[in-house]
Amino acid sequence: MSKNSVRTEGGPEQVFDVLDDAYAYPRWVVGTRRVRHVDPSWPAIGSAFHHAVGSAAGEIHDSSKVLERDRPRHLALEVRFRPIGVARVDLDVEATESGSVVTITERPLSGPVAWLPKVVSEPLLSVRNALALQRLRHAADSEGERGSA
């Protein structure tokens, strides 16, 4: 399990504006190349968006499904990036006086990534998720600037 947090000037609603936009995921999720399709009911529980992971040299097509959603506090996703694995990703947003704190917790559920020793997998996930949170912070702060303009 990997757990990272970041402070943002964006409030919980601004963070969730980004989280609720499936097409924004490639801007902040490390490794997501593009969104291929979004279920019409997104971001309802059980809905999914279908994404491509990789580079111009090659892509893996998979999906992310909403398991739990309590806007603007909590979002849980089942993220598939097979054949490497499946993970549960929880995003928790806590309001602060100056914005919010966003915490991401990732638990590998299956596949080779789940079989790796934690001493190997956790540092890799932690670095990737720290970068993702920096990107999410930038996107949420940008949302706030657009909303106040």
pLDDT tens for the chain, residues 1 to 149: 899 999 999 999 999 999 999 999 999 999 899 999 999 999 999 999 999 988 778 888 999 999 999 999 999 999 998 778 899 999 999 999 999 999 999 999 998 888 888 888 899 899 999 999 999 999 999 876 655 44
7: CB partners within 8 A, 6+ apart: 96, 98, 99, 100, 101, 137
3-state helix, strand, coil in the chain (%, to 5): 35, 45, 20
Phi, psi of 110 (to 5 degrees): -155, 170
Q: Residue 138's domain is classified under what CATH number?
A: 3.30.530.20
Compute the Cα dihedral for 21, 55, 88, 134 and give only its sign.
Answer: negative
Number of domains in the chain: 1
Q: What is the pTM of this model?
A: 0.91
E strands, 57-142, are 58-70, 74-81, 85-96, 99-110
Task: For residue 13, give its domain range.
Answer: 2-148
